[in-house]
Amino acid sequence: MKHLLTGLVFLVSITTQAQDSLNVLFIGNSYTAYNNLPQLVAQVAASNGDYVTFNSNTPGGHTFQQHSANTTTLSLIAQGNWDYVVLQEQSQLPSFPIGQVESSVYPYARKLDSLIMAANPCAETVFYNTWGRKNGDASNCANFPPLCTYQGMDSLLQLRYGFIADTNNAILSPVAQVWRYIRTNYPAIELYNPDESHPSVAGSYAAACAFYTVLFRKNPLQITFNAGLDSTTAANIRLANKLITFDNLADWHVGEYDPVADFYAENDMGNGAYLINQSINADSYQWYINNILASTDENYSLQFNGSPVTVMLVANLCGRTDTLILNVSPLGFKEDLASLLNIYPNPFTDNISIATNIKLPVNWQLVNALGQVIQSGNSNNIAGLEITPAGLYLLRLNVADKTITKRLIKN
Protein backbone atom coordinates (compact mmCIF):
# COMPACT_ATOMS: atom_id res chain seq x y z
CA MET A 1 0.00 0.00 0.00
CA LYS A 2 1.38 3.41 -0.89
CA HIS A 3 2.10 5.98 1.76
CA LEU A 4 -0.08 9.08 1.78
CA LEU A 5 1.75 12.08 0.33
CA THR A 6 0.64 15.31 1.92
CA GLY A 7 1.11 18.95 1.03
CA LEU A 8 1.20 20.71 -2.28
CA VAL A 9 3.38 20.11 -5.30
CA PHE A 10 5.65 23.13 -5.00
CA LEU A 11 7.35 22.74 -8.35
CA VAL A 12 6.97 20.70 -11.51
CA SER A 13 9.19 22.35 -14.07
CA ILE A 14 11.15 21.52 -17.17
CA THR A 15 14.40 23.34 -17.81
CA THR A 16 14.80 24.03 -21.52
CA GLN A 17 18.34 24.49 -22.81
CA ALA A 18 21.09 24.53 -20.21
CA GLN A 19 22.89 27.07 -22.39
CA ASP A 20 22.07 29.82 -24.85
CA SER A 21 24.79 28.68 -27.25
CA LEU A 22 24.24 25.73 -29.58
CA ASN A 23 26.29 23.73 -32.07
CA VAL A 24 24.13 22.90 -35.09
CA LEU A 25 24.90 20.84 -38.18
CA PHE A 26 22.79 21.39 -41.31
CA ILE A 27 22.57 18.50 -43.80
CA GLY A 28 20.51 19.18 -46.92
CA ASN A 29 20.71 20.68 -50.38
CA SER A 30 19.94 23.93 -52.19
CA TYR A 31 16.84 24.68 -50.09
CA THR A 32 19.19 24.98 -47.10
CA ALA A 33 22.00 26.64 -49.07
CA TYR A 34 19.81 29.37 -50.63
CA ASN A 35 20.30 32.68 -48.81
CA ASN A 36 22.65 30.79 -46.45
CA LEU A 37 19.97 29.56 -44.08
CA PRO A 38 22.45 28.43 -41.37
CA GLN A 39 23.93 31.93 -41.25
CA LEU A 40 20.43 33.45 -41.09
CA VAL A 41 19.61 31.22 -38.11
CA ALA A 42 22.79 32.41 -36.38
CA GLN A 43 21.94 36.06 -37.09
CA VAL A 44 18.36 35.63 -35.87
CA ALA A 45 19.67 34.03 -32.65
CA ALA A 46 22.33 36.70 -32.09
CA SER A 47 19.71 39.44 -32.28
CA ASN A 48 18.14 37.97 -29.13
CA GLY A 49 21.41 37.33 -27.29
CA ASP A 50 21.75 33.66 -28.28
CA TYR A 51 24.51 32.05 -30.26
CA VAL A 52 24.74 29.34 -32.92
CA THR A 53 27.95 27.74 -34.10
CA PHE A 54 27.23 25.80 -37.28
CA ASN A 55 28.58 23.76 -40.12
CA SER A 56 26.78 22.40 -43.16
CA ASN A 57 26.88 20.14 -46.18
CA THR A 58 24.32 21.11 -48.82
CA PRO A 59 25.12 19.75 -52.30
CA GLY A 60 22.43 20.62 -54.84
CA GLY A 61 19.62 18.06 -55.14
CA HIS A 62 21.11 15.70 -52.56
CA THR A 63 18.78 13.11 -51.01
CA PHE A 64 18.91 11.36 -47.65
CA GLN A 65 20.12 8.29 -49.49
CA GLN A 66 23.02 10.18 -51.07
CA HIS A 67 23.90 11.85 -47.77
CA SER A 68 24.00 8.46 -46.04
CA ALA A 69 27.00 7.60 -48.26
CA ASN A 70 28.49 11.10 -48.59
CA THR A 71 31.95 11.17 -46.97
CA THR A 72 31.66 14.84 -45.96
CA THR A 73 28.26 14.28 -44.35
CA LEU A 74 29.45 11.16 -42.54
CA SER A 75 32.59 12.91 -41.30
CA LEU A 76 30.65 15.89 -39.97
CA ILE A 77 28.12 13.66 -38.18
CA ALA A 78 30.93 11.56 -36.69
CA GLN A 79 32.39 14.63 -34.97
CA GLY A 80 29.62 14.11 -32.43
CA ASN A 81 29.84 17.61 -30.94
CA TRP A 82 26.44 18.75 -32.22
CA ASP A 83 23.52 19.74 -30.04
CA TYR A 84 21.23 19.45 -33.05
CA VAL A 85 21.58 17.98 -36.53
CA VAL A 86 19.13 19.30 -39.14
CA LEU A 87 18.16 16.92 -41.96
CA GLN A 88 16.50 18.15 -45.18
CA GLU A 89 15.43 15.73 -47.91
CA GLN A 90 15.36 16.53 -51.63
CA SER A 91 12.45 18.93 -52.13
CA GLN A 92 10.12 16.69 -54.17
CA LEU A 93 10.89 13.17 -53.04
CA PRO A 94 8.78 13.00 -49.84
CA SER A 95 5.67 14.01 -51.83
CA PHE A 96 5.96 11.13 -54.31
CA PRO A 97 3.74 8.00 -54.20
CA ILE A 98 4.00 6.25 -50.86
CA GLY A 99 5.74 3.14 -52.21
CA GLN A 100 8.60 5.26 -53.50
CA VAL A 101 8.79 7.20 -50.23
CA GLU A 102 8.87 3.98 -48.21
CA SER A 103 11.80 2.66 -50.22
CA SER A 104 13.74 5.85 -50.97
CA VAL A 105 13.12 8.20 -48.03
CA TYR A 106 12.12 6.52 -44.76
CA PRO A 107 15.01 4.00 -44.50
CA TYR A 108 17.65 6.67 -45.08
CA ALA A 109 16.06 9.13 -42.66
CA ARG A 110 16.36 6.39 -40.05
CA LYS A 111 19.92 5.56 -41.07
CA LEU A 112 21.06 9.17 -40.74
CA ASP A 113 19.29 9.56 -37.41
CA SER A 114 20.94 6.37 -36.15
CA LEU A 115 24.36 7.67 -37.16
CA ILE A 116 23.69 10.92 -35.33
CA MET A 117 22.68 9.10 -32.14
CA ALA A 118 25.67 6.75 -32.35
CA ALA A 119 28.07 9.70 -32.57
CA ASN A 120 26.38 11.59 -29.71
CA PRO A 121 23.40 10.16 -27.80
CA CYS A 122 22.68 13.64 -26.44
CA ALA A 123 22.24 15.19 -29.89
CA GLU A 124 18.73 15.74 -31.24
CA THR A 125 17.72 15.29 -34.85
CA VAL A 126 15.58 18.02 -36.42
CA PHE A 127 13.79 17.31 -39.70
CA TYR A 128 13.34 20.36 -41.93
CA ASN A 129 9.78 20.23 -43.26
CA THR A 130 10.06 21.98 -46.63
CA TRP A 131 7.13 23.38 -48.63
CA GLY A 132 5.17 22.64 -51.75
CA ARG A 133 6.10 24.45 -54.94
CA LYS A 134 4.24 27.68 -55.61
CA ASN A 135 1.90 26.18 -58.20
CA GLY A 136 2.55 22.50 -57.68
CA ASP A 137 5.10 20.20 -59.28
CA ALA A 138 4.44 20.50 -63.02
CA SER A 139 7.15 17.99 -63.91
CA ASN A 140 5.42 15.19 -61.97
CA CYS A 141 1.78 16.29 -62.17
CA ALA A 142 0.80 13.99 -65.02
CA ASN A 143 2.15 10.89 -63.26
CA PHE A 144 0.82 11.76 -59.79
CA PRO A 145 -2.13 14.22 -59.81
CA PRO A 146 -1.87 15.21 -56.10
CA LEU A 147 1.29 17.11 -57.08
CA CYS A 148 -0.59 19.32 -59.55
CA THR A 149 -1.34 21.97 -56.91
CA TYR A 150 0.54 23.66 -54.11
CA GLN A 151 -1.98 22.39 -51.56
CA GLY A 152 -1.70 18.80 -52.75
CA MET A 153 2.09 18.75 -52.79
CA ASP A 154 2.45 20.68 -49.55
CA SER A 155 -0.02 18.44 -47.70
CA LEU A 156 1.94 15.35 -48.71
CA LEU A 157 5.21 16.91 -47.60
CA GLN A 158 3.73 17.80 -44.21
CA LEU A 159 2.28 14.29 -43.83
CA ARG A 160 5.51 12.48 -44.71
CA TYR A 161 7.82 14.72 -42.69
CA GLY A 162 5.47 14.37 -39.72
CA PHE A 163 5.70 10.59 -40.01
CA ILE A 164 9.50 10.75 -40.24
CA ALA A 165 9.77 12.86 -37.10
CA ASP A 166 7.28 10.66 -35.22
CA THR A 167 8.96 7.37 -36.07
CA ASN A 168 12.47 8.62 -35.31
CA ASN A 169 11.60 10.34 -32.02
CA ALA A 170 12.86 13.54 -33.59
CA ILE A 171 11.93 17.22 -33.65
CA LEU A 172 10.13 18.76 -36.63
CA SER A 173 10.88 22.28 -37.81
CA PRO A 174 7.46 23.30 -39.23
CA VAL A 175 8.62 25.57 -42.02
CA ALA A 176 5.98 24.33 -44.48
CA GLN A 177 3.27 25.01 -41.91
CA VAL A 178 4.57 28.56 -41.38
CA TRP A 179 4.74 29.14 -45.13
CA ARG A 180 1.14 28.00 -45.54
CA TYR A 181 -0.01 30.40 -42.83
CA ILE A 182 1.85 33.27 -44.51
CA ARG A 183 0.46 32.39 -47.95
CA THR A 184 -3.07 32.42 -46.50
CA ASN A 185 -2.84 35.46 -44.25
CA TYR A 186 -0.14 37.62 -45.88
CA PRO A 187 -0.39 36.82 -49.60
CA ALA A 188 1.63 39.93 -50.51
CA ILE A 189 4.74 38.38 -48.93
CA GLU A 190 6.63 36.60 -51.69
CA LEU A 191 8.18 33.47 -50.20
CA TYR A 192 9.46 32.04 -53.47
CA ASN A 193 12.37 32.68 -55.76
CA PRO A 194 11.24 33.34 -59.38
CA ASP A 195 11.72 29.61 -60.10
CA GLU A 196 8.64 29.01 -57.85
CA SER A 197 10.58 26.40 -55.90
CA HIS A 198 13.51 27.83 -53.94
CA PRO A 199 13.01 30.36 -51.16
CA SER A 200 13.22 34.11 -51.48
CA VAL A 201 14.93 36.02 -48.68
CA ALA A 202 11.51 36.26 -47.01
CA GLY A 203 11.05 32.50 -47.36
CA SER A 204 14.46 31.75 -45.85
CA TYR A 205 13.82 34.26 -43.06
CA ALA A 206 10.57 32.45 -42.24
CA ALA A 207 12.55 29.20 -42.06
CA ALA A 208 15.28 30.78 -39.90
CA CYS A 209 12.71 32.08 -37.41
CA ALA A 210 11.13 28.60 -37.22
CA PHE A 211 14.50 27.00 -36.52
CA TYR A 212 15.37 29.56 -33.87
CA THR A 213 12.05 28.94 -32.15
CA VAL A 214 12.36 25.13 -32.00
CA LEU A 215 16.08 25.11 -31.14
CA PHE A 216 15.99 27.72 -28.37
CA ARG A 217 12.30 27.34 -27.40
CA LYS A 218 11.93 31.10 -27.33
CA ASN A 219 9.25 33.46 -28.59
CA PRO A 220 10.18 34.64 -32.12
CA LEU A 221 8.57 38.01 -31.41
CA GLN A 222 11.76 38.77 -29.46
CA ILE A 223 13.84 38.60 -32.67
CA THR A 224 15.08 42.00 -33.87
CA PHE A 225 17.07 40.97 -36.97
CA ASN A 226 15.09 41.61 -40.19
CA ALA A 227 17.39 40.05 -42.84
CA GLY A 228 17.07 43.20 -44.96
CA LEU A 229 13.28 42.91 -45.18
CA ASP A 230 11.03 45.87 -44.44
CA SER A 231 9.93 46.00 -40.82
CA THR A 232 6.28 45.13 -41.51
CA THR A 233 7.12 42.03 -43.57
CA ALA A 234 9.64 40.82 -41.00
CA ALA A 235 7.19 41.42 -38.13
CA ASN A 236 4.42 39.49 -39.92
CA ILE A 237 6.77 36.57 -40.53
CA ARG A 238 7.75 36.53 -36.85
CA LEU A 239 4.08 36.65 -35.84
CA ALA A 240 3.34 33.69 -38.12
CA ASN A 241 6.11 31.76 -36.37
CA LYS A 242 4.79 32.71 -32.97
CA LEU A 243 1.31 31.41 -33.81
CA ILE A 244 2.38 28.27 -35.69
CA THR A 245 5.72 27.29 -34.15
CA PHE A 246 6.03 28.73 -30.64
CA ASP A 247 2.39 28.34 -29.57
CA ASN A 248 2.46 24.67 -30.63
CA LEU A 249 5.93 23.48 -29.61
CA ALA A 250 4.57 20.17 -28.34
CA ASP A 251 3.14 19.43 -31.80
CA TRP A 252 6.67 19.59 -33.18
CA HIS A 253 7.97 17.30 -30.39
CA VAL A 254 9.97 20.08 -28.76
CA GLY A 255 10.57 19.06 -25.16
CA GLU A 256 8.93 15.68 -25.62
CA TYR A 257 12.17 13.84 -24.93
CA ASP A 258 13.22 15.95 -21.93
CA PRO A 259 13.41 14.33 -18.49
CA VAL A 260 10.24 14.31 -16.36
CA ALA A 261 10.73 13.79 -12.62
CA ASP A 262 8.11 11.66 -10.87
CA PHE A 263 8.02 9.49 -7.74
CA TYR A 264 5.73 8.16 -5.05
CA ALA A 265 6.27 7.03 -1.44
CA GLU A 266 5.46 3.56 -0.14
CA ASN A 267 5.48 2.47 3.53
CA ASP A 268 8.37 0.27 4.61
CA MET A 269 6.23 -1.15 7.48
CA GLY A 270 8.34 0.84 9.97
CA ASN A 271 9.30 4.46 10.54
CA GLY A 272 10.18 5.13 6.94
CA ALA A 273 9.16 4.99 3.32
CA TYR A 274 10.53 3.78 0.04
CA LEU A 275 10.69 6.58 -2.55
CA ILE A 276 9.93 4.88 -5.84
CA ASN A 277 11.30 6.69 -8.88
CA GLN A 278 8.91 6.85 -11.84
CA SER A 279 10.80 9.46 -13.86
CA ILE A 280 11.09 9.11 -17.62
CA ASN A 281 13.74 10.20 -20.13
CA ALA A 282 16.39 10.46 -17.41
CA ASP A 283 19.70 8.71 -16.75
CA SER A 284 20.80 10.18 -13.41
CA TYR A 285 19.08 11.45 -10.29
CA GLN A 286 19.58 13.43 -7.09
CA TRP A 287 17.39 13.05 -4.00
CA TYR A 288 17.33 16.02 -1.62
CA ILE A 289 15.75 15.67 1.84
CA ASN A 290 15.04 19.06 3.43
CA ASN A 291 17.34 20.63 0.81
CA ILE A 292 20.29 18.32 1.66
CA LEU A 293 21.59 15.91 -0.99
CA ALA A 294 20.84 12.42 0.31
CA SER A 295 21.41 10.06 -2.61
CA THR A 296 22.11 9.71 -6.31
CA ASP A 297 20.56 6.23 -6.52
CA GLU A 298 17.53 5.62 -8.70
CA ASN A 299 15.31 4.98 -5.66
CA TYR A 300 15.73 6.04 -2.02
CA SER A 301 14.82 4.64 1.39
CA LEU A 302 13.61 7.47 3.60
CA GLN A 303 13.66 7.42 7.42
CA PHE A 304 11.46 9.82 9.39
CA ASN A 305 12.42 11.57 12.62
CA GLY A 306 8.84 12.10 13.66
CA SER A 307 8.09 15.10 11.45
CA PRO A 308 7.28 15.71 7.78
CA VAL A 309 10.14 16.16 5.32
CA THR A 310 10.48 17.93 2.01
CA VAL A 311 11.61 15.56 -0.71
CA MET A 312 13.05 16.89 -3.95
CA LEU A 313 13.88 14.61 -6.88
CA VAL A 314 15.99 16.04 -9.71
CA ALA A 315 15.99 13.98 -12.92
CA ASN A 316 18.76 14.65 -15.45
CA LEU A 317 19.41 13.88 -19.10
CA CYS A 318 22.03 15.49 -21.33
CA GLY A 319 22.20 18.76 -19.41
CA ARG A 320 18.44 19.12 -19.01
CA THR A 321 16.74 18.68 -15.66
CA ASP A 322 13.27 18.37 -14.21
CA THR A 323 12.41 18.72 -10.53
CA LEU A 324 9.54 17.44 -8.43
CA ILE A 325 9.14 18.55 -4.80
CA LEU A 326 6.66 16.94 -2.40
CA ASN A 327 6.03 17.08 1.33
CA VAL A 328 5.99 13.55 2.80
CA SER A 329 4.51 12.97 6.26
CA PRO A 330 4.70 9.86 8.50
CA LEU A 331 0.94 9.59 8.94
CA GLY A 332 0.76 5.84 9.16
CA PHE A 333 -1.21 3.59 6.80
CA LYS A 334 -3.91 5.45 4.95
CA GLU A 335 -5.58 4.81 1.65
CA ASP A 336 -3.72 6.54 -1.13
CA LEU A 337 -6.07 8.87 -2.96
CA ALA A 338 -4.39 7.91 -6.23
CA SER A 339 -5.81 4.39 -5.86
CA LEU A 340 -9.27 5.93 -6.21
CA LEU A 341 -8.36 7.29 -9.64
CA ASN A 342 -8.83 4.86 -12.54
CA ILE A 343 -7.16 5.63 -15.87
CA TYR A 344 -7.15 3.16 -18.75
CA PRO A 345 -5.58 2.40 -21.11
CA ASN A 346 -2.32 4.23 -20.45
CA PRO A 347 -0.43 4.61 -22.78
CA PHE A 348 -3.33 5.07 -25.22
CA THR A 349 -3.77 5.79 -28.90
CA ASP A 350 -7.31 7.05 -29.47
CA ASN A 351 -9.45 7.34 -26.35
CA ILE A 352 -8.72 7.27 -22.64
CA SER A 353 -11.17 6.63 -19.82
CA ILE A 354 -10.77 8.55 -16.55
CA ALA A 355 -12.95 7.82 -13.52
CA THR A 356 -12.60 8.76 -9.87
CA ASN A 357 -14.24 7.52 -6.68
CA ILE A 358 -12.88 10.43 -4.66
CA LYS A 359 -15.78 11.92 -2.74
CA LEU A 360 -14.15 15.29 -2.04
CA PRO A 361 -14.18 18.14 -4.60
CA VAL A 362 -11.45 17.71 -7.21
CA ASN A 363 -9.77 20.39 -9.30
CA TRP A 364 -7.51 19.18 -12.08
CA GLN A 365 -4.96 20.45 -14.57
CA LEU A 366 -3.57 18.80 -17.71
CA VAL A 367 0.07 19.82 -18.29
CA ASN A 368 2.00 19.17 -21.50
CA ALA A 369 5.66 18.19 -21.79
CA LEU A 370 6.71 21.85 -21.69
CA GLY A 371 5.05 22.40 -18.32
CA GLN A 372 2.19 24.40 -19.85
CA VAL A 373 -1.33 23.99 -18.44
CA ILE A 374 -3.44 23.25 -21.52
CA GLN A 375 -6.72 22.19 -19.88
CA SER A 376 -8.25 22.44 -16.41
CA GLY A 377 -11.54 21.71 -14.69
CA ASN A 378 -13.23 20.11 -11.71
CA SER A 379 -14.92 16.89 -10.65
CA ASN A 380 -17.77 17.45 -13.07
CA ASN A 381 -15.79 17.32 -16.32
CA ILE A 382 -12.72 15.16 -15.71
CA ALA A 383 -14.39 12.16 -17.38
CA GLY A 384 -14.70 14.15 -20.61
CA LEU A 385 -11.02 15.00 -20.85
CA GLU A 386 -9.80 15.03 -24.48
CA ILE A 387 -6.09 14.80 -25.21
CA THR A 388 -4.41 15.81 -28.47
CA PRO A 389 -1.81 15.60 -29.94
CA ALA A 390 0.37 12.57 -29.19
CA GLY A 391 2.92 13.05 -26.43
CA LEU A 392 3.57 13.01 -22.70
CA TYR A 393 1.18 14.75 -20.30
CA LEU A 394 0.83 15.15 -16.54
CA LEU A 395 -2.62 15.09 -14.96
CA ARG A 396 -2.64 16.89 -11.60
CA LEU A 397 -5.59 16.48 -9.25
CA ASN A 398 -5.87 18.81 -6.27
CA VAL A 399 -7.97 17.33 -3.46
CA ALA A 400 -8.13 19.41 -0.28
CA ASP A 401 -4.42 19.92 0.56
CA LYS A 402 -3.26 16.91 -1.48
CA THR A 403 -1.99 16.75 -5.05
CA ILE A 404 -2.02 13.59 -7.15
CA THR A 405 0.12 13.56 -10.28
CA LYS A 406 -0.40 10.95 -13.00
CA ARG A 407 1.54 10.55 -16.22
CA LEU A 408 -0.51 10.08 -19.39
CA ILE A 409 1.08 9.00 -22.64
CA LYS A 410 -0.71 9.28 -25.98
CA ASN A 411 0.95 7.36 -28.80
Q: Which fold has domain 21-252?
A: Rossmann fold (3.40.50)
Residue of 348, 411, 107, 393 lying closest to 250 (CA atoms)? 393
Q: For domain 336-411, say whether CATH 2.60.40.1930 is its number.
A: yes
- Its CATH architecture, for the domain 1-16+259-334, is Sandwich (2.60)
- Contact assessment for residue 120 and residue 82, using Cβ atoms and an 8 Å cutoff: yes
Residue of 227, 224, 230 lying closest to 188 (CA atoms)? 230
Same fold, 21-252 and 336-411: no
- Contact assessment for residue 348 and residue 410, using Cβ atoms and an 8 Å cutoff: yes
- pLDDT the model gives residue 391: 73
pLDDT tens string for the chain (411 positions)?
Answer: 223 333 323 333 333 333 489 999 999 999 999 999 999 999 999 999 999 999 999 999 999 999 999 999 999 999 999 999 999 999 999 999 999 999 999 999 999 999 999 999 999 999 999 999 999 999 999 999 999 999 999 999 999 999 999 999 999 999 999 999 999 999 999 999 999 999 999 999 999 999 999 999 999 999 999 999 999 999 999 999 999 999 999 999 998 888 988 888 877 666 778 888 988 889 999 999 988 999 999 999 888 777 788 889 999 999 888 888 887 776 533 334 555 567 777 777 777 777 776 666 778 888 876 677 888 887 767 766 777 777 777 787 776 556 667 777 777
Domain coordinates in residue numbering, the chain: 1-16+259-334, 21-252, 336-411
Residues in the chain: 411
Task: Kindly report the number of other CB atoms within 10 A of residue 291's CB atom.
Answer: 8
Using CB atoms within 10 A of its CB, is residue 102 exposed (0-12), middle (13-18) or buried (19+)? Answer: exposed
- pLDDT the model gives residue 273: 82
3-state secondary structure the chain: CECCEEEEEEEEEECCCCCCEEEEEEECCHHHHHHHHHHHHHHHHHCCCCEEEEEEECCCCCCHHHHCCCHHHHHHHHCCCCCEEEECCCCCHHHCCHHHHHHHCHHHHHHHHHHHHHHCCCCEEEEECCCCCECECCCCCCCCHHHHCHHHHHHHHHHHHHHHHHHCCCEEECHHHHHHHHHHHCCCCCCECCCCCCECHHHHHHHHHHHHHHHHCCCHHHCCCCCCCCHHHHHHHHHHHHHHCHHHHHHHCCCCCCCECCEEEEECCCCEEEEEECCECCCEEEEEECCEEEECCCCEEEECCCCCEEEEEEEEECCEEEEEEEEECCCCCCCCHHHHEEEECCCECCCCEEEECCCCCEEEEEECCCCCEEEEEECCCHHHCCCCCCEEEEEEEEECCEEEEEEEEEC
Phi and psi (nearest 5°) for 274? -90, 130
Residues 323 and 402: their CA atoms lie apart, in Å, by: 18
- pLDDT the model gives residue 384: 66
